[in-house]
Amino acid sequence: MADENGIILIVISGTLLMMLFIGAIILFVVTYNRKIQQKNSEHTLEIKNKELEMLKKVIETQESERDKIASNLHDEVGPLLSKLRLDMSSFKRAFDKGTLTAEKLNNEREFIDEIIDNVRSVSHDLSPQFLLKFGIVKAIRNYVSNFEKPQIAVQGNLEQLKLSRTISVNTYRVLLELINNTIKHDSPEKMNILFEEKACLLKVVMEHDGDGISNEEFESFAKNSKGLGLTSIQTRIIILNAILDFQKRKEGMSSINLSIPKV
């Protein structure tokens, strides 16, 4: 009799244990799933926000470049063409009077050359043809050849390097912005730009004897700056999936390292 009661007790407690086990498993799976879902949705929101921010930066950069081109056309080419129009009127009057000389015409030809240079410069801003034709190293070498101070040496023989148009143009713009900013804010005496190919990366090291900035300072400047230069660098770095690293000088040279995936 006692044995039979014991069996019933075992059945009841076994059933209760099963109920607890089932309840615990279901509760655990549901709670765990809910937690993971919440984490995922937060992560998705974060990614979306980042994408939005990037899109905003891209649009801002585009707008800034359009403004720059418009202002170049308006301020540089516009007045020159107006002056050319006035010159033409005066030439007509001089021609009628018979006072038009070859010297005046020569001066005017030089003036037209200046207009052509300006148009070329605007066109270069729109699409750097030299870069697309001769590659990133030669384009940078060509660009820095215009500077008298600081002395800028470009090293690296990457004639065979083939990059897509997007990578070339974005890298070129980033480098131009970095060179200009360094010259403007650090006033270095010397600057070396070294191009290297490492496995699937294009590495560019810019060394200069200015004070330089740290990564934290760059982030802070980019956040607080009203200009779009630093934002443009950040946007292009994201587009290139590249890594930009600033090393502030303690002793010797400051440097800026740029690692760009070639594909």
Which residues contact other proteins by CB under 8 A?
4, 7-8, 10-12, 14-15, 18-19, 21-22, 25-26, 29-30, 32-34, 36-37, 40
How far apart are alpha carbons 140 and 149 in whole angstroms?
16
Least distance CB 51 / other proteins (angstroms):
18
Taking the least distance from each CB to other proteins, the nearer of 26 and 112 is 26
Taking the least distance from each CB to other proteins, the nearer of 10 and 55 is 10
Residue 122 in tokens:
């605007």
Least distance CB 6 / other proteins (angstroms):
11
How far apart are alpha carbons 105 and 112 in whole angstroms?
10
Taking the least distance from each CB to other proteins, the nearer of 15 and 241 is 15
Taking the least distance from each CB to other proteins, the nearer of 22 and 88 is 22
Residue 182 in tokens:
């360094």
Least distance CB 49 / other proteins (angstroms):
19
Least distance CB 46 / other proteins (angstroms):
17
Q: What is the DSSP string of the chain?
A: -HHHHHHHHHHHHHHHHHHHHHHHHHHHHHHHHHHHHHHHHHHHHHHHHHHHHHHHHHHHHHHHHHHHHHHHIIIIIHHHHHHHHHHHHHHHHHHHHT---HHHHHHHHHHHHHHHHHHHHHHHHH--HHHHHH-HHHHHHHHHTT--SSEEEEE---TT----HHHHHHHHHHHHHHHHHHHHHH--SEEEEEEEEETTEEEEEEEESS----HHHHHHHHHH-SSSHHHHHHHHHHHHT-EEEEE--SSS-EEEEEEEE--
Least distance CB 45 / other proteins (angstroms):
14
How far apart are alpha carbons 256 and 181 in whole angstroms?
12
Taking the least distance from each CB to other proteins, the nearer of 3 and 251 is 3
CB atoms within 10 A of CB 131: 23
Residue 145 in tokens:
């050849």
Least distance CB 201 / other proteins (angstroms):
34
Taking the least distance from each CB to other proteins, the nearer of 31 and 166 is 31
Least distance CB 56 / other proteins (angstroms):
27
Taking the least distance from each CB to other proteins, the nearer of 11 and 55 is 11
